[in-house]
Amino acid sequence: MPHPETWLKVTPSGLFCEPGGFYVDPLRAVDRAVVTHAHSDHARPGHRAVLASEATLALMRTRMGDEQAGLMQQTAAWGERVRIGEVTLWLEPAGHVLGSAQVAMEWRGSRVVVSGDYKRAADPTTPGFVVIPCDVFVTEATFALPVFHHPRPESEIARLLESVALFPERTHVVGCYSLGKCQRLVALLRAAGWDAPLYLHGAHMALCETYEALGVPLGDLRPATVAGKDALVGAIVLAPPSAVADRWARRLAEPVVCAASGWMRVRQRAKQGGVELPLVISDHAGWDELNATLDEVAAPEVWVTHGREEALIHAAAKRGIRGRALRLLGYGEEEA
């Protein structure tokens, strides 16, 4: 059985599967790409052929237009086997954002799974992570430090709603990524009983429409920019992290600046961003989830694409798992 190092290679364009002739989440435009999910650091524009889940391709088209999403677009259903060159490939859910997939590849009896970004916590807007046993598991390590323990998102949403009840004359503006986090927050708020309209920054609106078209109901969403100031008193507004701290937010009624991110675990980050109410809600696996996943996929070897690889590789080594840092530059900024 050939070792995966001999057929899955780190190149300046990203991970290249030689016997298949394709890249996984290439960092620049290539001839043939397999894309795990539609965040901008993984889904780059301008590839010739793109294979991805149906939802990922739909979200890519919303973000970059039909042509930039791939001249040839091929979807694969969960678990559907696809032959590319000499390689058999299939996708399984990664639980990160809608459409997010792990890429499983087999060549001559050796199996590699590239997880892309993933989480293990339940998320009403996306199917949950599926464990695929493999010879090499390629993982992210965004939050691979023991300090990154993510609380239950429901309890963070409860804190937000408590604050809204406490300050009914103010507008709560929540900084969140436009793909994934925004829709998850909406769904969590609906599940917590918030039926009132939610107001969105323009950047968030189009992706919410695509989520709804893909069968994820989000309720009454309205553009914050056209809403009168009075309508926003006591309301919740969702906006990109870059917008909450600037002029855009200042037109709101005495805004309470909130942010929903795994990084809100780090007090310094919240302070720097002027965040009054930090909500620790992450779409990436925390320390416990990362380690549990390594145990469950039972791969003798783990490759770490980006993030805090030292701690994860050290923890893996203690359990007899060989670790390798790929140091792929270019991942990590989801909304670059």
Instruction: Provide the total of helices (H) and of strands (E) in the chain, helices listed first.
Output: 9, 19
CA atoms of 93 and 100, how far apart (whole Å)? 6
Query: Which of 59/270 has CB closer to Zn ion?
Result: 59
CA atoms of 275 and 253, how far apart (whole Å)? 16
CA atoms of 102 and 95, how far apart (whole Å)? 9
Q: Where does this chain bind Zn ion (CB under 5 A)?
A: 39, 41, 117, 331, 334
Task: Give the shortest CB-219-to-Zn ion separation in angstroms.
Answer: 24
Task: Give the shortest CB-37-to-Zn ion separation in angstroms.
Answer: 6
Task: Give the shortest CB-14-to-Zn ion separation in angstroms.
Answer: 12
Task: Give the shortest CB-308-to-Zn ion separation in angstroms.
Answer: 14
Q: What is the 3-state secondary structure (H, E, C) of 277-324?
A: EEECCCCCCCHHHHHHHHHHHCCCEEEEEEECHHHHHHHHHCCCCEEE
Query: Which of 145/164 has CB closer to Zn ion?
Result: 145
Tokens of 1: 């059985």
Task: Give the shortest CB-41-to-Zn ion separation in angstroms.
Answer: 5
Query: Which of 150/170 has CB closer to Zn ion?
Result: 150
Task: Give the shortest CB-158-to-Zn ion separation in angstroms.
Answer: 26
Give the Cβ contact number of residue 77 at 10 Å. Answer: 10
Cα angle 194-266-93, degrees, rounded to a multiple of 5: 60
Query: Which of 39/201 has CB closer to Zn ion?
Result: 39
Query: Which of 107/331 has CB closer to Zn ion?
Result: 331
Q: Are 19 and 107 in contact (CB under 8 A)?
A: yes
Q: Are 115 and 131 in contact (CB under 8 A)?
A: no
Query: Which of 43/257 has CB closer to Zn ion?
Result: 43
What type of residue is 120?
A: R
